[in-house]
Chains A and B, each alone.
Chain A
Amino acid sequence: MRIARMADFVLRALAAGLLVALIAGPLGCFVVWRRMAYFGDTLAHSALLGISFSLLLDINLQFAVIFACLAIALLLVQMESKHHLATDTILGILAHSSLAFGLVMLSFTNSNINLMAYLFGDLLTVSELDLVWIASGVTAALVLLWLNWNRLLTITLHQELAQVEGLQAAKIRLLLMLLIATVIALSMHVVGILLITSLMIIPPACARGFSSSPEKMAFSASLIGCIAVCCGLLTSFYLDTPSGPSIVVCAAVLFFISSLFRQ
């Protein structure tokens, strides 16, 4: 009985990890191609703002996080056009102030939450309901990504050319932000908000050396992410290490091995 239950939560953890790796790979490719790593990091930090709102106002956690990420993304676009500061400065301001604001807000809630689980993930506490959320969210994100793949590629190559050819670049960029926000909300349990970006950028970086087309790179990134999740969970299980950081360590090891084989 005890073993069966244990197998249950391990399987749930594995399923959640694999699902998130599946979408983080191809979406992460866009983060890498468009040099949005710090942007992803900023959104991830603002997730804590969403978490504290969700606890304060007693609203759905995933939606609160997606909403907070999108709000910060739009604020960034606004600030970029108004200030004379470099984008990385604005990103730094938004990332850390939203993280700090989130932590301050959390202190107003009476709930005794496990902050570490949000910051670094705790795959082994994924509930069945969480898994349903992750599965439906990942499916929706994959379908949207599949349907808009060429459009996303086109605006990534050259936004103005895409516009002249008749694409609505602003809408497509918004979709990309929405997808990134969704993946952040979904992968919170897996690697935590401080490590989410690594799950999006390390597998694509690893896949680049073996890929001759955007599609191959996206597919390989998914595969490499899945391998990292499996290895990370095994490590976590046998060495009793935290699951989120173990997954990221495995991804990093895969990256360094892959760079040895590159010319």
Chain B
Amino acid sequence: MAASFSKISPGTVFVTDTLLQARQLSLTLDKREILRDISLQIKGGQIVTLIGPNGAGKTSLVKLALGLLNPTKGHVERRKNLRIGYMPQRMHIDASMPISVQKFLQLAVRARPEHIASVLDELSASHLLQAQIHSLSGGEMQRILLARALIQDPELLVLDEPMQGVDITGQAELYALIAAIRDRHHCGVLMVSHDLHLVMSATDEVICLNQHVCCHGLPEQVSQDPAYLELFGTKEAKALAVYTHHHNHSHDLSGEIVGKDYADRSHG
């Protein structure tokens, strides 16, 4: 079992470094079970990636971690005064609101002008400062949302499908950027991946979610798949990895687990 899933015993060196610890979370909304018995832990400098099909409860789990939803069972412990930078899945700004990137970033609760400048510089997005939000491309908008999260000076960065609306080369750049941010700021990262098969090589822990944790662990070594190398070029492809894993059970159409291995719940 990977370190991040092991029960913490008091006194180990990791305890102080733990940013967020979720224990046996279950969530039922409208009599529908969204999540069941989920435990996870995020430490400083660690990247945890959630993958799973649509409706697997990825966004719900993120909302539980952020405290935007309360679990039906179990509980979430966040380190005291934990600074969280959150990049939501969708930012729909009504077209009737005229707003520049600068004003948008200034609205961040902890924004300071020199800080905004340095964060934009780090994301190579300084040229967007005066642009209107509505004129940004999908990739530019994601960078600005990431900037807004970084302005919080986060200890934990929570990214809900950061690759949305980003073209495929932009995705590789953004993944590299997130890894660089982690290295520089030593923050923990909880990320929902947009793709079942594509996760960062820098990920320390991949959690495959389908209402419960199907499996988890380190992603495999960078893919040598010629198709990827062709798509991204050798250099960019190094930031990508294909995560293949073997389920010990399968799901039927309604997400119920079928197969004999479920009984011993060896998958955690």
Contact = CB atoms under 8 A, between A and B. Distances in A.
A165 B96 contact: no
B99 A160 contact: no
Q: Looking at chain B's contact residues, is the secondary structure mostly helix, strand, loop, or mixed?
A: loop
A262 to B, nearest CB: 13
Interface stretch (A85-93, A127-135, A136-144, A209-217): A209-217
Contacts of A208: 96, 98
Contacts of A217: 97-98
A74 interface: no
Contacts of B148: 161
Interface string B57-100: 00000010011100000000000000010101001011011111
B88 A161 contact: yes
Given A164-B86, A165-B109, A214 B96 contact: no
Contact of B96 (A32, A158, A164, A213): A32
A96 interface: no
A33 B97 CA distance: 6
Interface residues of A, number: 27
A104 interface: no
A189 B199 CA distance: 61
B11 to A, nearest CB: 32
A33 B84 contact: no
A156 interface: yes
A35 B100 contact: no
B86 A214 contact: no
A150 interface: yes
A212 B68 contact: no
13 contacts: A33-B97, A35-B94, A153-B107, A154-B109, A157-B99, A157-B104, A157-B107, A161-B88, A164-B66, A164-B67, A164-B84, A164-B158, A214-B103
